[in-house]
């Protein structure tokens, strides 16, 4: 049996799933100032109805790290950055705390050291950090995925006084220095708070006599195992929307290009699927004022939901949202909302419909409209705005740059065939959305706990990048900290094999003995001939392997 | 504090296209540039956005070139995407989606001439000319200046605009006596209707940043101030770099960035540049930052050593004199001995180095006092025994327009070659006649 827990903004949900069936659910209010108490409470509630010894896996989606960053509950970090020539430091040094140290040294795009690390300056920076009693560090150099030496030296220099050091190339093997820098900083800044939370979770699980592996949800629609998350807490940010998206996959058999709408009280989240799989942000999610390298499902949030207020400006412009004025008047609110408009139109009968009618009528009369006209216009405006935003997102995705003639000329575009709608007002609005989007529309059952179901069923994901240079006879897999000599005849095929086998080996040694080669997908594999001084016919090889987001045992709940 | 500008970058490295595996124009030419731009996080900067190229159409090509026997035979999909990248840059700027645009695309184009039979100097389609003709077709006839800072003379662009008084072409390049294509001398100043609208500055080998910047300040800028273009386009070749394997100049990434900042082009289009590891990543980064109005002062090649690159006093003095002479050539070009309202004839031979084609051309231009003049040419190669092109220019007067149709009728009756191309830019009518079979290419709409 699988146990999924989703700590959301308002509610904490839990579900138990037994061979494809939801056998128990529980919901408690989230106490954002005490997440452990909320998790305790929901465990208490759900386990009171179910024997717990048969739970085989626990998946938890939590807002701890997200909140830490949003609320700036961040520990001061000693940031040691080595950028070398390029962009001015002012373009990447903002929002990284009070202890940012830029140190001389440089590595180029091929991983050649062009300027040695200024170790004396590095030592001065470390002394300064010591003076300021800093205990966590982030060490990041430009092009460290091509040559990690400078970062390794820096990590060594801080090791005496560091409780925890985030090393840039372990965060991501992809090239993007400012993102790696910001991600490493956040990871170090939330590390202690996350680990205290993790200790409490361990206690809580023990208290409830659960003895199953624990995994934490990530923003990419996958999980990370609990021990690993203690070193990579940044990976747990923004897992909530990802849990919902995975939930809808569990509740509907999505196989086509599709648009997913999660309509809440205040906002609607839009996600796009290609061939049944959610699309990820191109490089990583932006968060807390900085772009990061944390992989995330590409969701787009707009300020229209069931509780969005209907207003008319003095100039006569009708608006729905973005501010939430809920609850609706039908439930004794003070301003007419989208749900009140639905009540007026007879699309639903929530609470006291007379209140909805009265509220809209007052606004309609002031603006020389009939109450039905106003309700029609408001609903139409809300839904066309959602459609326009979805179209915009789709256009952005279809216009993403590609780098081969083949892809530009013959590349396939995403062409949604179906609309999936979930959230409170989903059933009410689905028929209208179907018309406005001109798409077949499905509202899955059980969507009220879709997020917890998504959490329960989500599988582990991981990505590694391999980079080889046969001129220099080196092969690196930065985030596994692998760097070794290869022969000058090392091929793209060798690189594929190494990428797969190293990822499998790492996962087997880190709590996933079930992983085999066939679980790994090679998502990018390129080799280019280099014609230069090193050797004619040497190659630069880039391979990217991953375990794609997916559901445990392909369980479908109907 | 500099003023930042919104910059659109159309990055298209064509990773699946090469002339041949060891040719300088091969797959990974922009790979290290992409590595550098990615690692620097350039596309995360708030005022820089990356765009996907459009795909140019055959209509875009036929509006610009006489393609013999047709656009399909002289281009591949990669050329259409590179030209489409330039078109995207034009569209972004003309529709004010961005302030500036940089088409960082390959294959390059500035050696492609008015007549195209194949590939010469690594080029099939002239990306800048396709861009300009796209603008003139859809946004009206404009005054446009092209400043070509590739190390090789932009002979293709020069040929296309030789007779066009509305397009100012300025090329800075290594002296043709020392480098391909061996043209671009100070006395090449444009045809009779566009005298002084072609300006060449053949620079001596080993010219350093200061030499290029001196030319911009003391020659290019005064000419631009006088010409007052609606748009400035930079043919941004990067082979003046000291590390380039096939040229002999001493420019650096800093020099290129500074040059771009001074020139302040609306649109830049990548041309050559074959030091793909040592120069391109840094030069492209410098240009991108300069165009976006960002600080480029810390962009530097790993092996940059200004002391070893500085030009001699002799070069400095030579450039100074050259600028004086060239400035005079712009303002008071020596007149040509032509008769107004009659055809002026030039015969030329064009060699296609990549494809080994020899083209014998005879070109006639009406020395019109009211417009750019109707153009009529014949072209003979080993492949296409005889071809004819007739072009009524976009600013044609009634006489030249009617003369164009008269030439067409005469061609229909008497022409015995393989292909005749008729282009009426004024009324957007395009015809191809193959072996006397009339095939309307139709009207092309935006």
Residue A533 predicted with pLDDT over 70: no
Report the gap between the CA of A412 and the closest CA in chain B (Å). Answer: 14
Res B35: pLDDT: 97
Res A532: pLDDT: 66
Token code pair at residue B124 = 């099939």
Res A171: pLDDT: 95
More confident position, B66 or A63: B66
- The 3-state DSSP class for residue B372 equals coil
Contact B77 A87 (CB under 8 A): no
Res B235: pLDDT: 97
Contact A88 B298 (CB under 8 A): yes
Contact with chain B for residue A408, Cβ under 8 A: yes
Rounded to whole angstroms, the Cα distance separating A41 from A14 reads: 10
Q: How many CB atoms lie within 10 A of CB B14?
A: 26
Res B440: pLDDT: 47
Average pLDDT over residues A522-543: 83
Average pLDDT over residues A44-61: 86
Please give the residue of chain B at the shortest CA–CA distance from A291.
Answer: B44
Catalytic residue among B65, B79, B111, B241: B111
Report the alpha-carbon angle A190-A196-A199, nearest 5: 135
Cβ–Cβ < 8 Å for B69, B434: yes
Rounded to whole angstroms, the Cα distance separating A316 from A337 reads: 17
Categorize the per-residue pLDDT at B121 as very low, low, confident or very high, splitting at 50, 70 and 90: confident
Average pLDDT over residues B97-107: 97
Q: What is the mean pLDDT of chain B?
A: 93
Contact with chain B for residue A479, Cβ under 8 A: no
Categorize the per-residue pLDDT at B446 as very low, low, confident or very high, splitting at 50, 70 and 90: very low
Q: Chain A residues with CB inside 8 Å of B26's CB?
A: 529, 531
Contact with chain B for residue A406, Cβ under 8 A: yes
Tens of pLDDT along A148-190? Answer: 999 999 999 999 999 999 999 999 999 999 999 999 999 999 9
Contact B38 A175 (CB under 8 A): yes
What sign for the dihedral angle of Cα A22, A28, A32, A33?
negative
What's A20's DSSP letter? T
Report the gap between the CA of B266 and the closest CA in chain A (Å). Answer: 22
Q: How many CB atoms lie within 10 A of CB A457?
A: 27
Res B439: pLDDT: 46
Res A261: pLDDT: 94
Q: Are strands A482-485 and A474-477 parallel, antiparallel or unpaired?
A: antiparallel
Rounded to whole angstroms, the Cα distance separating A102 from A96 reads: 12
**Whole-number percent of chain B with pLDDT over 90:** 87
**Whole-number percent of chain A with pLDDT over 70:** 97
Residue A349 predicted with pLDDT over 50: yes
Rounded to whole angstroms, the Cα distance separating B87 from B98 reads: 14
Contact B41 A532 (CB under 8 A): no
Contact A409 B295 (CB under 8 A): no
Average pLDDT over residues B236-240: 96
Contact B298 A177 (CB under 8 A): no
- Alpha-helix residue ranges (DSSP H) falling in A215-346: 226-231, 239-251, 338-344
Residue A226 predicted with pLDDT over 80: yes
Contact B39 A177 (CB under 8 A): yes
Token code pair at residue A504 = 């499998």
Average pLDDT over residues B330-345: 94
Q: What is the mean pLDDT of chain A?
A: 92
**Which residue from B76, B77, B297 is facing A88, i.e. has the nearest CB?**
B297
Report the gap between the CA of B39 and the closest CA in chain A (Å). Answer: 4
Res B89: pLDDT: 98
**Which residue from A177, A404, A540 is facing B41, i.e. has the nearest CB?**
A177
Query: Whole-prediction pTM value?
Result: 0.93
Tens of pLDDT along A7-19? Answer: 987 789 999 999 8
The contacts of residue A395 (CB under 8 Å, 6+ apart) are: none
Size of the A and B interface in Cβ pairs below 8 Å: 120
Rounded to whole angstroms, the Cα distance separating A3 from B396 reads: 78
Contact A403 B12 (CB under 8 A): yes
Tens of pLDDT along A237-271? Answer: 999 889 989 998 888 888 899 999 998 888 899 99
Tens of pLDDT along B31-65? Answer: 999 999 999 999 999 999 999 999 999 999 999 99
Categorize the per-residue pLDDT at A534 as very low, low, confident or very high, splitting at 50, 70 and 90: very low
**Which residue from A177, A178, A409 is facing B81, i.e. has the nearest CB?**
A409
Contact with chain B for residue A176, Cβ under 8 A: yes
Tens of pLDDT along B339-383? Answer: 999 999 999 999 998 888 899 999 999 999 999 999 999 999 987
Rounded to whole angstroms, the Cα distance separating B325 from B202 reads: 12
Dihedral pair phi/psi, residue A317, rounded to 5°: -90, 125
Tens of pLDDT along B245-265? Answer: 999 999 999 999 999 999 999
Res B414: pLDDT: 86
Res B109: pLDDT: 94
**Residue recorded with tokens 């409170």:** A424
Res B353: pLDDT: 85
Contact with chain B for residue A528, Cβ under 8 A: yes
Of A101-110, A400-409, B133-142, B171-180, which range is least confident? A400-409
Contact A88 B26 (CB under 8 A): no
Res A49: pLDDT: 78
Res B445: pLDDT: 30
* Long-range CB contacts (within 8 A, 24+) of A389-393: A389/A270, A389/A300, A389/A302, A390/A259, A390/A261, A390/A270, A390/A272, A390/A300, A390/A437, A393/A270, A393/A272, A393/A298, A393/A300
Contact with chain B for residue A85, Cβ under 8 A: yes
Average pLDDT over residues A372-397: 95
Contact with chain B for residue A542, Cβ under 8 A: no
**Would you call B111 a catalytic residue per the annotation?**
yes
Count of H-run helices and E-run strands, chain B: 13, 17
Average pLDDT over residues A36-50: 91
b/e for B393-403, b at 16 or more Cβ within 10 A?
A: bbbbbebbbeb
**Whole-number percent of chain B with pLDDT over 70:** 97
Average pLDDT over residues A95-118: 96
Res A326: pLDDT: 67
ipTM metric: 0.92
Extended beta strands in A92-195, E state: 100-102, 106-107, 113-115, 136-141, 164-167
Res A20: pLDDT: 86
Categorize the per-residue pLDDT at A518 as very low, low, confident or very high, splitting at 50, 70 and 90: very high
Res A556: pLDDT: 56
Rounded to whole angstroms, the Cα distance separating B191 from B197 reads: 9
Rounded to whole angstroms, the Cα distance separating A124 from B106 reads: 46
Please give the residue of chain A at the shortest CA–CA distance from B14.
Answer: A404
Rounded to whole angstroms, the Cα distance separating B283 from A51 reads: 66
Average pLDDT over residues A541-551: 92
């Amino acid at each position: 049996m699988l146990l999924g827990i989703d700590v959301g903004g308002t509610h904490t949900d839990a579900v138990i799933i037994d061979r494809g069936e939801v056998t128990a659910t529980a919901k408690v209010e989230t106490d954002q100032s005490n997440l452990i108490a909320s998790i305790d409470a929901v465990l208490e509630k759900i386990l009171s109805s179910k024997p717990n010894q048969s739970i085989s896996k626990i998946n938890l989606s939590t807002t701890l790290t997200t909140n830490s960053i949003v609320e700036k509950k961040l520990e001061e970090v000693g940031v040691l950055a080595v950028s070398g020539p390029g962009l001015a430091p002012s373009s990447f040094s903002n929002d990284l705390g009070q202890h940012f140290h830029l140190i001389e040294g440089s590595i180029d795009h091929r991983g050649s050291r062009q300027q040695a690390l200024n170790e004396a300056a590095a030592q001065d920076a470390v002394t300064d950090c010591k003076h300021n009693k800093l205990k966590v560090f982030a060490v990041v150099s430009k092009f460290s995925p091509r040559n990690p030496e400078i970062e390794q030296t820096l990590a060594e220099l801080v090791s005496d006084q560091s409780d925890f050091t985030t090393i840039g190339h372990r965060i991501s093997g992809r090239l993007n220095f400012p993102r790696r820098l910001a991600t490493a900083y956040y990871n170090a800044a939330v590390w202690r708070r996350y680990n205290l939370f993790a200790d409490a979770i361990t206690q809580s699980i023990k208290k409830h006599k659960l003895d199953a592996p624990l995994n934490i949800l990530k923003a990419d629609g996958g999980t990370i195992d609990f021990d690993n998350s203690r070193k990579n807490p940044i990976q747990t940010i923004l897992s909530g929307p990802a849990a919902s998206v995975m939930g809808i996959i569990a509740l509907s058999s999505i196989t086509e290009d599709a648009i997913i709408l999660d309509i809440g009280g205040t906002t609607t989240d839009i996600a796009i699927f290609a061939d049944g799989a959610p699309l990820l942000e191109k490089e990583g999610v932006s968060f807390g004022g900085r772009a990061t390298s944390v992989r995330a499902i590409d969701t787009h949030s707009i300020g229209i939901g069931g509780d969005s207020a209907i207003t008319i400006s003095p100039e006569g412009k009708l608006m729905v949202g973005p501010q939430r004025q809920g609850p609706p008047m039908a439930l004794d609110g003070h301003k007419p909302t989208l749900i009140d408009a639905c009540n007026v139109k007879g699309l639903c009968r929530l609470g006291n419909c007379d209140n909805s009618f009265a509220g809209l009528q007052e606004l309609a009369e002031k603006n020389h409209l009939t109450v039905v006209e106003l309700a029609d216009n408001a609903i139409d405006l809300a839904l066309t705005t959602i459609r326009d935003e979805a179209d915009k997102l789709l256009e952005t995705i279809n216009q993403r740059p590609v780098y081969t003639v083949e892809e530009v000329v013959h590349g396939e575009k995403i062409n949604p065939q179906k609309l999936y709608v979930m959230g409170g007002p989903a059933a009410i609005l689905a028929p209208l959305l179907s018309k406005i989007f001109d798409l077949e529309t499905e509202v899955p059952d059980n969507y009220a706990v879709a997020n917890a179901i998504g959490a329960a069923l989500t599988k582990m994901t991981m990505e590694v990048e391999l980079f080889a240079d046969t001129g220099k006879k080196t092969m690196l897999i930065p985030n596994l900290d692998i760097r070794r000599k290869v022969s000058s005849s090392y091929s793209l095929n060798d690189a594929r094999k190494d990428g797969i086998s190293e990822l499998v080996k790492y996962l087997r040694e880190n709590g996933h003995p079930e992983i085999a080669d066939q679980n790994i997908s090679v998502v990018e594999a390129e080799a280019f001939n280099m014609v230069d001084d090193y050797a004619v016919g040497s190659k630069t090889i880039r391979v990217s392997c991953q375990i794609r987001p997916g559901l445990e045992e392909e369980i479908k709940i109907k | 504090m500099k003023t930042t500008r919104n910059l659109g970058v159309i990055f298209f490295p064509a990773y699946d296209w090469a002339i041949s595996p060891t040719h300088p124009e091969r797959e990974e030419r922009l790979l290290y540039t992409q590595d550098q731009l990615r690692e620097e996080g350039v596309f995360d900067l708030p005022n820089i956005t990356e765009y996907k190229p459009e795909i140019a159409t055959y209509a875009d090509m036929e509006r610009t070139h006489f393609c013999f026997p047709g656009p399909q035979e002289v281009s591949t999909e990669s050329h259409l995407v590179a030209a489409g990248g330039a078109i995207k840059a034009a569209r972004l700027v003309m529709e004010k989606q961005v302030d500036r645009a940089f088409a960082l695309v390959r294959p390059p184009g500035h050696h492609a001439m008015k007549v195209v039979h194949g590939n010469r100097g690594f080029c099939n389609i002239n990306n800048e000319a396709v861009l300009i003709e796209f603008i003139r077709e859809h946004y009206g006839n404009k005054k446009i200046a092209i400043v070509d800072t590739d190390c090789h003379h932009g002979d293709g662009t020069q040929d296309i605009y030789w007779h066009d008084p509305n397009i100012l072409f300025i090329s800075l390049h290594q002296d043709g006596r020392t480098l391909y294509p061996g043209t671009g001398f100070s006395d090449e100043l444009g045809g009779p209707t566009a005298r002084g609208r072609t300006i060449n500055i053949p620079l001596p080998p080993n010219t350093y940043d200061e030499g290029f910047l001196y030319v911009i300040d003391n020659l290019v800028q005064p000419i631009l101030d006088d010409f007052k273009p609606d748009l400035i386009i930079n043919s941004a070749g990067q082979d003046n770099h000291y590390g380039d394997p096939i040229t002999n100049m001493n420019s650096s990434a800093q020099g290129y960035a500074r040059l771009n900042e001074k020139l302040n082009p609306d649109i830049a289009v990548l041309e050559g540049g074959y030091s793909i590891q040592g120069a391109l990543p840094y030069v492209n980064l410098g240009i991108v930052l300069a165009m976006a109005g960002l600080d480029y002062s810390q962009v530097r090649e790993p092996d940059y050593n200004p002391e070893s690159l500085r030009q001699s006093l002799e070069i400095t003095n030579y450039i100074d004199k050259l600028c004086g002479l060239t400035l005079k050539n712009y303002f008071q070009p020596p007149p040509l001995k032509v008769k107004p309202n009659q055809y002026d004839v030039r015969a030329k031979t064009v060699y296609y180095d990549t494809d080994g084609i020899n083209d014998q051309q005879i070109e006639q231009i009406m020395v019109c006092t009211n417009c750019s003049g109707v153009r009529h040419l014949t072209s003979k190669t080993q492949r296409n025994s005889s071809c004819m092109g007739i072009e009524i220019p976009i600013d044609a007067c009634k006489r030249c327009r009617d003369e164009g149709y008269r030439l067409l009728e005469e061609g229909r009756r008497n022409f015995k070659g393989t292909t005749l191309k008729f282009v009426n830019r004024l009324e957007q009518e395009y015809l191809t006649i193959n072996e006397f079979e009339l095939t309307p290419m139709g009207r092309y709409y935006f």
